[in-house]
Structure 1
Amino acid sequence: MGCQRPVFNGHLLDRRFVSWTSMMAFPEDFNQLELLNTHGHLIPRGASSLWTGSKENEEEEEEENHSEELYLEKEQALKDKPVELILWAAEHNRLSTVHRLLATDPLLVHCCDEDGYTPLHRAAYSGHADVCSALITAGSKVNPRTNDGWTPLHSACRWSRVTVVSFLLQHGAELNAQTNGGLTPLHLAASNTSSSKSDSAHTLELLLSQRHLKAALRSHSGETASEVARRSGPLHFLFEMVEDYVSVIPDT
């Protein structure tokens, strides 16, 4: 992703939050969302990220504007490593490459990296709905779990990939799935409520409108998604959609 990947305790940090946290000795009840808020700049956002902020992030965006020639060079370099290639292709929206690999070996749709991220996870957090569709059509499970218990829906909600969120929900994604830390997709969407991200509100609205949503679920740190949204940004008012209203009828 970036020209230089960050290092912690001598380890290169992985693209995904899970691989970084696995290097660190956190107690079981540590607040994952606070860690996301304080160290989110270390977590890559996928090839079409809307993340804005530091100069480092701007440099990442520039690097992501690879020419077709460079993409083809990358594919050539990974031609003898089909697992790595399909994971990379799913993350970088290389739909034709995904189709070609799956035609050769349909079982690649179920592969994963060392952290448990499947091609569907990578396409989801990068916001590539067409790739997600191709993977599901080819037989990908909708709710595979990473080592930290993240589903593709968690990944899409963390980065406000509203089109992918909608697609996954339509194809049976577990709306109330909880990570190993107790985070639901709603928790993750609520933690990403910067007013600069136009899709943040749409993602929250979509989740909050779901009939079977369990908005009161608490993470292992004890927070509901509403409480996360209250301290994370300006969109807490959207949770009025799921608040219980009590009608007071005066005695007659």
Structure 2
Amino acid sequence: ARREPRMSERKQPEGDDEDSERFEEFLESFNQLELLETHRHLIPVGTPSGWSGQSDDEEDEEQERSEEWYEMQEKRMEKNPEKLLLWAAENNRLSTVKRLLSEKLAPVNARDEDQYTPLHRAAYSGHLDIAHELVAQGADVHAQTVDGWTPLHSACKWNNTNVAAFLLQQGADINAQTNGLLTPLHIAAGNKNSRETLELLLMNRYVKADLKNNLDETALDIARRTDVYHYLFEIVEDCINAVSP
């Protein structure tokens, strides 16, 4: 198989011994790590480096840069407080959420283009403290996106059980259906990482496991089809059998 020749194997121009000697000297003194350090600014952002080592000091510095990056993002969005609130809820910036709400700079039920609220974003990101603060400030636990998803659907999609439990405590509808008639139980039933959330939902006395989506499937049908934790539905076996033909 053909391969690209190494730099030292490439043929040099004939008749120029001085250039050849300089080329050989360059090869002997060439240091990739040194070049990386001196020309790092020429490497496009996102380009992977061949250097994988990282000292503790570098890791600490990266964490500091990360915090600086968050602060920089917040400054950029200060003139758009609703956008900032949505972003802060998703990125677990509790102090920013509290400030925006206490100073009444943004409504607690602000919406993005898909009608997600800050509570939706906190729910799918698993930020329980943010969810607590939003609900305490009047966030709507029944708010729906353009697809009919509630914050509880969002929490169940990503197996954020603590947030889901909190939303249920705050009166979220466990049987709320999306535009496609999916309940939170349907959503959790198709998730391979949803055992804790499925147990939470199935042990709730108000869950209606027999509800069907627009494909005429129950949550158990989805669990059986995807072979994910279908045995957990034995918890509500009596309910399922009652509606079976």
Counterpart mapping for 1:193-232 below 5 A? 194=192, 197=193, 200-232=194-226
Secondary structure class of the residue paired with 1:239: helix
Partner Cα separation in structure 2 for residue 228 and residue 186 of structure 1 = 10
User: Per-residue deviation at 1:234?
Assistant: 3.4
Q: CA RMSD in A?
A: 1.5
Matched AA of 2:162: T
CA distance in 2, matches of 1:69, 1:106: 23
Instruction: Work out which of the two has the higher radius of gyration on C-alpha atoms and give 1 or 2.
Output: 2
Could you tell me whether the CA contact under 8 Å between 1:106 and 1:138 is conserved in 2? Answer: no
* Cα distance between partner residues in 2 of 1:87 and 1:107: 10
Partner residue of 1:145? Answer: 144
Cα pair 2:189 2:228 within 8 Å, conserved: no
Larger relative helix fraction: 2
TM-score, normalised via structure 2 length: 0.70
The 5 Å alignment of 1:1-252 reads 67-105=66-104, 108-192=107-191, 194=192, 197=193, 200-244=194-238
- Is the contact between residue 81 and residue 105 of structure 2 (CA under 8 Å) also seen in structure 1? no
Alpha-carbon deviation of 1:107?
5.3
Asked if 1 retains the 8 angstrom alpha-carbon contact of 2:82 and 2:106, the reply is: no
**Counterparts of 1:233 and 1:73, CA distance in 2:** 45
Using structure 1 for the length normalisation, give the TM-score: 0.68
Q: Which runs of 4+ in 1 moved over 3 A?
A: none
- The answer on whether the counterparts of 2:209 and 2:218 sit within 8 Å (CA) in structure 1 is yes
Give the SS at the match of 1:101: helix
Provide the C-alpha distance between the structure 1 equivalents of 2:227 and 2:94, rounded to a whole number of angstroms. Answer: 35
Any unmatched runs of 5+ in structure 1?
Answer: 1-64, 247-252
1:132-160 C-alpha deviation (Å, 9 max, x unpaired): 00000001111101111110000000111
CA distance in 2, matches of 1:244, 1:177: 22
CA offset at residue 130 of structure 1?
0.5
The one-letter code of the counterpart of 2:154 is: S
Q: Would the aligned equivalents of 2:190 and 2:228 in 1 still touch at CA under 8 Å?
A: no
Take 1:98 and 1:115, find their aligned partners in 2: how far apart are those partners?
20
Secondary structure in structure 1 of the residue aligned to 2:107: helix
2:175 match: secondary structure: coil
Distance 2:169 2:130 in 1: 15
The separation in 2 between residues aligned to 1:121 and 1:233, in whole angstroms, is 28
- Structure 2's unaligned 5+ residue stretches are 1-62
Higher relative contact order (CA 8 A, sep 6+): 1
Encode CA deviations 1:218-245: one digit per residue, 9 max, x unaligned. 0011110001111223311000100118
Q: Over residues 190-224 of structure 1, what are the superposed CA-to-partner deviations in whole Å (9 max), with x where a residue is unaligned?
A: 011x2xx3xx1110000000001100000011110
> How high is the sequence identity, in percent, across the aligned residues?
55
CA distance in 2, matches of 1:211, 1:128: 26
Between Structure 1 and Structure 2, how many residues are aligned?
Answer: 177
CA distance in 2, matches of 1:121, 1:104: 22
Distance, in Å, in 2 between the alignment partners of 1:183 and 1:70 is 38
Q: Distance in 2 between matches of 1:107 and 1:101?
A: 6
